[in-house]
Amino acid sequence: MRHRVKINKLSRYASHRKALLKNLAREVFEHGSIITTTAKAKTVRPLVEKILTKAIEANKTDNKDRSVALRRQINRYFNDRKFTNKVVDEVAKVYVEKNRTSGYTRILKIGYRRGDAAELSLLQLVETAEKKEEE
Q: Which residues contact 116 (CB under 8 A, 6 or more apart)?
A: none
Q: Coil, strand, or helix at residue 73?
A: helix
Per-residue pLDDT for 130 more than 90?
no
pLDDT digits (tens, 9 = 90+) for 77-98: 999 999 999 999 999 999 998 8
pLDDT digits (tens, 9 = 90+) for 12-48: 999 999 999 999 999 999 999 999 999 999 999 999 9
All structural domains of the chain with their residue ranges: 14-134
pLDDT digits (tens, 9 = 90+) for 45-74: 999 999 999 999 999 999 999 999 999 999
- Provide the CATH number for the domain formed by 14-134 in this structure: 3.90.1030.10
Give percent of the chain with pLDDT exceeding 70. Answer: 95
Nearest-5° angle of CA 122, CA 51, CA 42? 35
Q: Measured between alpha carbons, how far is residue 81 from residues 11, 23, 122 in Å?
A: 31, 15, 27
Per-residue pLDDT for 107 more than 70?
yes
pLDDT at 99: 85
Residue type, 16: H
